[in-house]
Amino acid sequence: MAKKQQIAVPQIEEVHEIWDLLTDEQKVYLKQSAKLQHFSKNDLIHREGEIPTHMMLLVRGKVKIYKTGVGGRTQIMRMLKPNAYFGYRAIFATNSYHGYNTNARAFEDSSVYMIPAEAASKLLHSNANFAYDFIKRLADELGASDARIVTLTQKHIRGRLAEALLFLKDNYGLKEDGKTIDILLARDDIASLSNMTTSNAIRTLSTFAEEGIIEVQGRVIKILDEEKLKKIDKLG
């Protein structure tokens, strides 16, 4: 009965927050260059080490950006929601940081505008306001990454997990009940977001639940006591 359904996604001018910074000519150029691409759940969008070909704009779904470290251990660096750009760092960097340093994988079915690297580069070179916007994005990301170094190296497990849960809440929001975090993650992903083993993520989530701070049903997590969570985030 079910027909193959056309996936509804917005036009690039609707989601591209900085569309208005472009000249008419540049708008046409961007619209022509950018191609929409769909990814299924768990699809790899780009891989660490690959030569970057596109700057990407997520318009539907959720994506994780992660690195593979010592002994294949995974570290989630960022988690994206619609309207987020990604893959652009790799295009701009020089020397040893040129190329994708990370993997990008769809958590859920996702749609992405693929903007060819040279188109992105051309636009940035020819439009200072547009460039300035990316400077701001990079500056924010760098601030976050630096902050993360201190968090992940210095905080204890409970503090890291609390921070991760608060981040998920801030990033993806809550469902209508005002409690349920609006993303479903495997324990494994929670672990590699907060730099701990899967066992410890599971254990610590259970402890938080016992303490009445959260409620857990499978992958559904409800925040019951945000203040307490913030306290743990700050003080361990």
Partner DNA sequence: ATATATTTGTGTTATAGAACATAGTTCTAC
Partner DNA sequence: GTAGAACTATGTTCTATAACACAAATATAT
Interface with a copy of itself (CB under 8 A): 67, 69-70, 73, 75, 77, 88-97, 101-102, 124-132, 134-136, 138-155, 195, 236
Contact partner, 7, from a copy of itself, DNA, none, Cβ < 5-8 Å per class: none
E strands present in 44-161: 44-46, 54-60, 63-68, 74-80, 85-86, 103-106, 110-116
Contacting residues for 109 by C-beta, under 8 A, at least 6 apart: 38, 39, 40, 41, 60, 61
E strands present in the chain: 35-39, 44-46, 54-60, 63-68, 74-80, 85-86, 103-106, 110-116, 214-217, 220-223
- In angstroms, what is the minimal distance from the CB of 80 to a copy of itself? 15
Contact partner, 197, from DNA, a copy of itself, none, Cβ < 5-8 Å per class: DNA
59 phi/psi in degrees, rounded to 5: -120, -15
- The reply to whether 186 sits near DNA by the rule CB under 7 A is yes
Contact residue for DNA among 180, 195, 213, 233 (CB under 7 A): 195
Contact partner, 144, from DNA, a copy of itself, none, Cβ < 5-8 Å per class: a copy of itself
Which window, 58-66, 126-134, 169-177, 195-203, contacts DNA (CB under 7 A)? 195-203
- Helices H / strands E in the chain, number of each: 9, 10
Contact residue for DNA among 106, 196, 229, 232 (CB under 7 A): 196
Report the amino acid identity of residue 57. L
Contact residue for DNA among 81, 197, 222, 228 (CB under 7 A): 197
Contact partner, 166, from DNA, a copy of itself, none, Cβ < 5-8 Å per class: none
- The reply to whether 74 sits near DNA by the rule CB under 7 A is no
Contact partner, 146, from a copy of itself, DNA, none, Cβ < 5-8 Å per class: a copy of itself
- The reply to whether 151 sits near DNA by the rule CB under 7 A is no
Nearest to 62 by CA among 105, 121, 116, 6: 105
Are 103 and 67 in contact, with CB atoms under 8 Å apart? yes
- The reply to whether 68 sits near DNA by the rule CB under 7 A is no
Q: How far apart are the first and last CA of the chain?
A: 54
- The reply to whether 205 sits near DNA by the rule CB under 7 A is yes
Nearest to 83 by CA among 104, 105, 113: 113
Interface residues with DNA (CB under 7 A)? 156-158, 186-188, 195-200, 202-203, 205-206, 216, 218-219
